[in-house]
């Protein structure tokens, strides 16, 4: 029996891209995978037409649903979406579809063959990155070096907007992940690796979208504070190991 998979798209004020991206993803999934699937649009805090486009899309397509939280934070939205489903596998991708969708079958294969988590990587051998500014590239490389220096981890790209795991892993891992915002991804991977979960790095084809919700300076500062919190405060052990 093929595993049921949720593709969560976190969105904040994405009225311009949302419809096209969901339609592109729908068409891709219909032809590329055999698993039963759902797209979950996870919005928190949008103040533009995003909520009404989400509602329209979920009325038009049986495979699309949406959820809305009032408090912002991408990690918060992903947590809610991943814990509120009965799908076997949960994942997310950014609405700009910067990660080429050819990573989807690789991700499913990894999870179906026993990995706990599959992560897109722009920094490993085999990955290709288009249109990324030198500034973003340098910040990304420096950040991932810093993580490696502090935690001696093996995963190569903490922040790629493409990740997936089994729901059982999400249920046991997420209570140990405190951040509700951009550091959520990094914290999740550090806690997972230190608890010996099997992480599959997948090299992706990434086409950068310069339209970004990230405030670089404040986000970088919060990331560094998050890393120090884990380094000094320690990494929690999963209460209910997978």
Which residues, at least 6 apart from 121, have a Cβ–Cβ distance to it below 8 Å? 127, 155, 156, 157, 160, 201, 202, 203, 204
Out of Mg ion, ligand GDP, none, which partner does residue 117 contact, by CB within 5 to 8 A per kind?
none
Contacts with Mg ion in 96-125 (CB under 5 A)? Answer: 96
For residues 114 and 168, what is the distance between their CA atoms, to the nearest angstrom?
A: 12
Cβ neighbour number for residue 35 with a 10 Å cutoff = 17
Contacts of 49 (CB under 8 A, 6+ apart): 15
Which of these, 135, 154, 133, 130, lies nearest to 144 by C-alpha position? 154
Q: Does 77 bind ligand GDP (CB under 6 A)?
A: yes
The partner in contact with residue 14, picked from Mg ion, ligand GDP, none with C-beta cut-offs of 5 to 8 angstroms by kind, is ligand GDP
Site string for Mg ion, 202-231 (x = CB under 5 A): -------x----------------------
72 binds ligand GDP (CB under 6 A): yes
Residue that is written with structure tokens 């993580």 in the block: 147
* Three-state SS at 171: helix
- When asked if residue 161 is in the footprint of ligand GDP (CB under 6 A), the reply is yes
Closest CA to 94 of 84, 103, 105, 83: 103
Least distance CB 59 / Mg ion (angstroms): 27
15 near Mg ion, rule: CB under 5 A: no
User: Site mask, Mg ion, residues 157-196, x = CB under 5 A?
Assistant: ----------------------------------------
Which is closer to ligand GDP, CB of 100 or CB of 112? 100
Q: Which of residues 200-239 bind ligand GDP (CB under 6 A)?
A: 209, 212-214
State the number of binding residues for Mg ion (CB under 5 A): 3
């Amino acid at each position: 029996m093929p595993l049921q998979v949720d593709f969560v798209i976190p969105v904040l004020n994405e009225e311009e891209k949302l419809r096209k991206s969901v339609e592109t993803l729908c068409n891709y999934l219909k032809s590329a995978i055999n698993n039963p699937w759902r797209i979950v649009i996870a919005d928190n805090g949008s103040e533009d037409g995003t909520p009404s486009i989400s509602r329209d899309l979920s009325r038009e397509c049986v495979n699309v649903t949406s959820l809305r939280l009032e408090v912002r934070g991408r990690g918060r939205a992903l947590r809610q979406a991943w814990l509120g489903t009965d799908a076997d596998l949960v994942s997310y991708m950014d609405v700009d579809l910067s990660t080429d969708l050819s990573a989807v079958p690789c991700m499913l294969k990894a999870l179906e063959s026993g990995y706990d988590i599959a992560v897109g990587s722009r920094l490993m051998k085999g990955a290709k990155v288009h249109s990324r500014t030198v500034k973003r590239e340098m910040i990304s490389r420096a950040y991932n070096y810093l993580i490696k220096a502090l935690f001696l981890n093996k995963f190569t790209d903490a922040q790629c907007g493409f990740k997936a795991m089994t729901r059982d892993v999400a249920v046991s891992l997420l209570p140990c992940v405190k951040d509700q915002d951009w550091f959520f991804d990094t914290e999740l991977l550090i806690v997972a690796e230190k608890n010996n979960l099997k992480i599959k790095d997948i090299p992706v084809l990434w086409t950068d979208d310069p339209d970004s919700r990230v405030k670089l300076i404040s986000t970088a500062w919060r990331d560094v504070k998050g890393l120090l919190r884990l380094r000094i405060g320690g990494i929690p052990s999963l209460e209910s190991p997978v």
